[in-house]
Amino acid sequence: MAPEMNGSLWFSKAREELGVTEIPGDMDNPRIIEYHSATSLKAPDDETPWCSAFVNWCFQQVGIKGTNLANARSWQTWGQELAEPRLGCVVVLWRENRNSPKGHVAFYVGPDDANPQKIRLLGGNQGDRVSIAGYDKSRVLSYRWPPAA
């Protein structure tokens, strides 16, 4: 999808990364280590949760400042909140329960046509890879758009 069509160069970058996968065992995928370099944590392996690192990296590639944090929920206060999702926006989800500090962050792709209770997200560390996966709408904490984008 051309960036001109959706106005989000970062989302085009994310799509280019589809299929990047963790390496099982002691070896680590250097591309995932590169994603980690976009956060202050700078984790040295591909086993450390990396969804936020991936989102930070995608923004970094197009000159937009992310949160610089490895915590998925750090995106809840970043940029502008959207009342409704739009293609390429950042989606922050809760994990375990709404009050847990754990979460997941990825980019909005669209509704899940097979299940109206779900949305499709493109993100890192989804099944140990960059992929598009479905998530329950009830887990959404926030839809975010970069400041001044």
- Domain residues for the domain of 83 are 8-144
Residues 22-81: tens digit of each pLDDT: 999 999 999 999 999 999 999 999 999 999 999 999 999 999 999 999 999 999 999 999
> How many structural domains are present in the chain?
1
Is the alpha carbon torsion for 54, 55, 57, 61 positive or negative? positive
Residues 89-146: tens digit of each pLDDT: 999 999 999 999 999 999 999 999 999 999 999 999 999 999 999 999 999 999 999 9
Q: Looking at residue 149, what is its pLDDT?
A: 63
| 73 within domain boundaries | yes
Q: Looking at residue 40, what is its pLDDT?
A: 98
| 1 within domain boundaries | no
Residue 1: band (very low, low, confident or very high) from pLDDT cuts 50, 70, 90: very low
| 3 within domain boundaries | no
| 2 within domain boundaries | no
Q: Which of 74, 92, 73 is nearest to 82 (CA)?
A: 92
| 18 within domain boundaries | yes
Residue 148: band (very low, low, confident or very high) from pLDDT cuts 50, 70, 90: confident
Residues 4-37: tens digit of each pLDDT: 334 589 999 999 999 999 999 999 999 999 999 9
Cα distance between residue 85 and residue 59, in whole Å: 18
* 3 pLDDT above the threshold of 80: no
| 95 within domain boundaries | yes
Here the CATH number for the domain that contains residue 134 is: 3.90.1720
